[in-house]
Structure 1
Amino acid sequence: MTFSKPYATREALEQTIAHHAWLNEHAGSLRLPAIRTVRADGIDFASIEGRHARFTDAPAVATVLGRAHAAAWKGDLHRALLTTAHPLAHGHELPDFVSPRIAALRRHRAAGLVNAHQMTAAQSLLAASPATPVAFYKDTNLRNVLITADGPVMVDLGDLTLAPFGYDLAKLLVTLAMTYGPLPPATFTTSLACYNQPLLGAGLPPVTIGRFLGHAELHHLLTLPYLGKSGYRHPWPTVRPRPEDLT
């Protein structure tokens, strides 16, 4: 059986294929649905039997992400910069981390969703040092993770970009809290510890809880247009953990 996903443009379709190939090559521990057929306006993926992630799945997903991010850094992204698009095969690329998010925040500011203080804070969070190790972001919200009998499978590959380590895991936990309500503090600390273990094994610095919470605040601002949609019922300020509960 297959799952068919349409694409509005041929460019978006080919970009997804390029992302799929790059992840298969450089993030080998990340399980993806296989591509069965490429059509003029869509892709048929192998069907995956599973359910969307719940907060109890966060440590297992964190382990998978940590392994994939460490592998991608070791295999390819050790040469990448957060401020510069990273080339892929056949003329495709992974967009940089900073410019797409600045553009999104400016749209939110124009729409009245983000105020001047929040915009300044977000720009500070997006400041990227050339020495910052580079991972990738694939929008790991809970609906893009299917939990199967053999472990997590990642779906929806259209939004792949560069990102700092920990950023994609923060997206998972922010969206879990916005969907289900406040999470036990141990969900955050345990998930981050699981994520950091493969990084340490690769000689990478661990993601601190402070950096992780900064990523979460950035996700909060970027997901504001989706509050009340796609199951996001709880505003992040009502469900964010207290830093003192995470030490």
Structure 2
Amino acid sequence: MVKLTMLARVADGLPLAEGLDSERQQDLEQYKQQAKTLFKKLSQGPPPPSRMSYESGAFFLHYLIEDGVCYLTLCDRGYPKKLAYQYLEDLCKEFAAANGGQVETVARPYAFIKFDTVIQRTKKLYQDTRTQRNLNKLNEDLHDIQSVMTRNINDILGQGEKLDHVSNMSQNLASETRKYSAKAKDLAFQALIQKYMPLIVVGGFLFMFLFIRYYVFGR
């Protein structure tokens, strides 16, 4: 069964639309966050595969990338992969026809929230895998469906945590370096004062002595 559907712009991971049953929203929040993290990772580094499936607990995350848009759905583990990708392809056709030319220009998240009505309508067609319509689709030879790789979602989430950890370490190191640099300057200045303080004191007394002798008593 299809549980969650999200669309995002591949270039920067900006969420474009979402289809989610409100009564199940709390239960699926964890997977929604995983999907958002996945969108961010897809926007970084080399171009991602056009299709990929990720195992996450009792579910699978399937995504399809077309014309700069990532179409993602969360399904039960037992839901056929063929139907999941056929569902995404149908959404892709609908979205491209209605909003394809506007994807690159939007700046705010969920700019195409009204597409939820299309998501809900299309999802109903794919919920029951036993209908004749869906049985026929399961028998179709879908393009490249057998070659779609499956990974564990923790693989990409773990990479993100490692990158964040390295980034935090770099920031902390830079901060500590600035602190040590400032302390080193202070210590160098203090050492300079300690080194030349006796000369400064002697010079001060000598100046005062000469000043008093020639300008006070010399008159």
More helix, by proportion: 2
Using structure 2 for the length normalisation, give the TM-score: 0.24
Using structure 1 for the length normalisation, give the TM-score: 0.22
